[in-house]
């Protein structure tokens, strides 16, 4: 039971991270900096609780705001570039953040940051954030801002012609994504009680990207589904435990060949709605 709870909690944190990747993604910005923002949130909040005695909730929020601010600053140069250039910019940024924490003695450098106060109700907090994010995203979809973000992602020029402020839309999406990632990092730090720079490497950013694209990119349920399923499934296949990573890689390739839009698409949502109506 304990094991199940811990896996589910991690899945919740992964959902938060996948959604943090998804919001800039709506505007066409593919960010490999999310693990870096997560690190900023984790270290920021851990310093608050472990060194300054700040309570849990404000500390995690502080971590999120800190990551959001850094995201805003990185979002500025990110406005000018696209495609592979943006991918490389965010990748480089993520690595720099990691190397900085690796050398920062105040937070334990390479040895890691120990004895962060443990939050017993991490699972509850994580899923509270997930629910809040789901409400946020479903309202965003129908709002003016959400449609503007979608329009920027579909075609920047067309969006600009109909009067969308591309700069603010992209910058907002990027900083909000960083903020959410920071929150995820704060929650993770107080669950693990110990953080080290290795926990926030490039491969983790890639992992969040994989969650999102595997789950589906047309609607926010995709990243939610992808993060949840890809975290839980491997845990239950004890029989193929030894080969699960290889199978995972194979699954990714096959998935991109037969259904590149991800498992959950708009058609899936339609089908589910129809089913619910019949039932």
Partner 1 sequence: MIIQQLLNGLMLGSTYSLVAIGYTLIFGVLRVLHFAHGEVLMAGSFMGIFIILWTGLPLYITLPLTMVATGVLGLIVEFLAIRPLRKDFHLAPLLSTIGVTIIIQNLAVKLFGGYGTKFPEAIKIADFSVGPYLISSAKILIVGISLFLMVVLYFVIAKTKVGRAMRAVAESHLTAGFLGVNVDRVVLITFGIASALAGAAGVMVGISFHAVSPFIGLTFALKGLVVMLLGGLGNVGGAMIGGLILGLAEVISIVLLPTEINLQDIFSFGIMILILIFKPTGLFGSRISQG
Q: With CB under 8 A as the contact rule, which of the stretches 41-49, 81-89, 152-160, 166-174 interacts with partner 1? A: 81-89
Beta bridge partners of 195: 113
Residue 9 burial by CB count (10 A; 0-12/13-18/19+): exposed, middle or buried? Answer: buried
Contact yes or no for 225/154 (Cβ under 8 A): no
- Nearest alpha carbon to residue 16 among 95, 134, 121, 110: 134
Q: With CB under 8 A as the contact rule, which of the stretches 52-60, 146-154, 161-169, 255-263 interacts with partner 1? A: 255-263
92 binding partner 1? (CB under 8 A): yes
246 binding partner 1? (CB under 8 A): yes
Q: With CB under 8 A as the contact rule, which of the stretches 12-20, 49-57, 83-91, 230-238 interacts with partner 1? A: 83-91
263 binding partner 1? (CB under 8 A): no
Binding positions for partner 1, 158-197, rule CB under 8 A: none
Contact yes or no for 47/195 (Cβ under 8 A): no
- Which is nearer to partner 1, 6 or 218 (by Cβ)? 218
Contact yes or no for 219/271 (Cβ under 8 A): no
Q: How far is the CB of 178 from partner 1 (least distance, A)?
A: 16
72 binding partner 1? (CB under 8 A): no
d(CA 265, CA 42): 32
The binder of partner 1 chosen from 166, 232, 251, 263 (CB under 8 A)? 251
d(CA 191, CA 175): 24
79 binding partner 1? (CB under 8 A): no
Side-chain-side CA neighbours of 239 within 13 Å: the count stands at 0
Task: List contacts with partner 1 (CB under 8 A).
Answer: 30, 77, 80-85, 87-89, 91-93, 95-96, 99-100, 102-103, 202-203, 206, 209-210, 213-214, 242, 245-246, 248-253, 255-257, 260-261
């Amino acid at each position: 039971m304990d094991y199940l709870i811990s896996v589910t909690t991690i899945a919740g944190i992964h959902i938060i991270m996948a959604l943090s990747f998804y919001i800039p993604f709506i505007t066409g910005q593919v960010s490999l900096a999310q693990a870096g923002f997560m690190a900023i949130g984790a270290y920021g909040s851990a310093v608050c609780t472990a060194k300054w005695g700040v309570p849990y909730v404000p500390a995690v929020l502080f971590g999120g705001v800190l990551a959001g601010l850094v995201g805003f600053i990185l979002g500025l140069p990110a406005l000018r570039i696209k495609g592979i250039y943006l991918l490389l910019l965010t990748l480089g940024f993520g690595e720099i953040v990691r190397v900085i924490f690796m050398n920062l003695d105040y937070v334990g450098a390479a040895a890691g940051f120990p004895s962060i106060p443990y939050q017993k109700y991490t699972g509850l907090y994580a899923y509270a954030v997930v629910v809040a994010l789901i409400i946020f995203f479903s309202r965003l979809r129908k709002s003016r801002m959400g449609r503007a973000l979608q329009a920027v992602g579909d075609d920047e020029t067309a969006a600009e012609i109909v009067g969308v402020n591309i700069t603010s839309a992209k910058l907002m999406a990027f900083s909000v994504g960083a903020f959410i990632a920071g929150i995820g990092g704060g929650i993770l730090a107080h669950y693990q009680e110990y953080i080290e720079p290795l926990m926030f490497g490039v491969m983790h950013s890639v992992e969040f990207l994989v969650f999102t694209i595997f789950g589906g990119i047309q609607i926010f349920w995709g990243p939610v589904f992808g993060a949840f399923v890809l975290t839980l499934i491997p845990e239950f296949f004890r029989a193929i435990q030894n080969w699960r990573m290889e199978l995972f890689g194979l699954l990714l390739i096959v998935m991109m060949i037969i259904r590149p839009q991800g498992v959950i698409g708009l058609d899936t949502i339609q089908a589910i709605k129809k089913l619910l109506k019949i039932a």
